[in-house]
Amino acid sequence: MTRLTLDVSEETDNMLSRIASKKHITKSELMRRAFALLYIADEQQEVGNTLGIIKSSTNELVSRLVGI
């Protein structure tokens, strides 16, 4: 496995720590998931699609993610 060193602000580090703690995963695992989501967004953008956030109870589009 390749090691990656990343400099982030204290605010970003706190945000990552909060999310990782809530999900009971490491910050490394959280970043792996974030990179996987970024990869999916990039692949979909290449074929003319966008990612969106759908409200699960109604299948309503809540937000479209642009510029990822």
What is the pLDDT, as a whole number, of residue 50? Answer: 87
pTM: 0.81
pLDDT in tens, 8-63: 999 999 999 999 999 999 999 999 999 999 999 999 999 999 889 999 999 999 99
Q: For residues 55 and 33, what is the distance between their CA atoms, to the nearest angstrom?
A: 21
pLDDT at position 68 over 80:
no
